[in-house]
Amino acid sequence: MKLYIVQHGEALHEDVDPDRPLAPEGKRDIRKIAGFLSAAGIHMEQIWHSRKRRSSESAIIFQEGLKPPGGILQMNGLDPGAEIGPLLSELGQEKKDLMIVGHLPFLQKMVSFLLTGKEDIPLVTFQKGCVLCLENSRDHWEILFYITPELLQ
């Protein structure tokens, strides 16, 4: 199973729009990453995202570029301060490749736990619009790649 973990794109500041939709540069960065993944032949069954607008808008852009057969799905427990346990239980039942679009610090805790068994060991410096690919092989997770929008300039 491959897991593509994405921090949502750059959002407008709360003072500009309290719903915090994606900023124009956030949309551009997500499209750039989605285009790169599509050109590389990356496929996943479904994209999970949080209930926050910046996450759902990022997921929609990935869906348009990658066309996962299972579409996108809003998942509970992906918000910034959520506990990682419930989502890890969901992942434990999955066999298909997935993308998760979410927020910090949740994503960082989840990745740390998957790779080390402890959620408080920061291993990856997430950036808005980045994608980290993990693969579960032989009952442990490994990092396959990490791409930021700046790398694709």
Q: What is the pLDDT at residue 85?
A: 95
Q: Locate the domains of the chain by residue range.
A: 2-152
Mean pLDDT of the chain: 95
Residues 38-66 pLDDT 10s = 999 999 999 999 999 999 999 999 999 99
pTM over 0.85: yes
Q: What is the pLDDT at residue 138?
A: 79
Residues 24-35 pLDDT 10s = 999 999 999 999
Residues 100-145 pLDDT 10s = 999 999 999 999 999 999 999 989 999 999 999 999 987 899 999 9
Rounded Cα gap, residues 70 and 118, in angstroms: 31
Q: Return the exposure string of 90-127: e unless at least 16 CB atoms fall within 10 Å of the residue's CB, then b.
A: ebeeeeebbbbbbbebbbbbbbbbbbeeebeeeebebe
Answer for the pair 23, 10: CB distance below 8 angstroms, yes or no: yes
Answer for the pair 11, 20: CB distance below 8 angstroms, yes or no: yes
Portion of the chain with pLDDT greater than 70, in percent: 100
Domain 2-152: CATH superfamily is Phosphoglycerate mutase-like (3.40.50.1240)
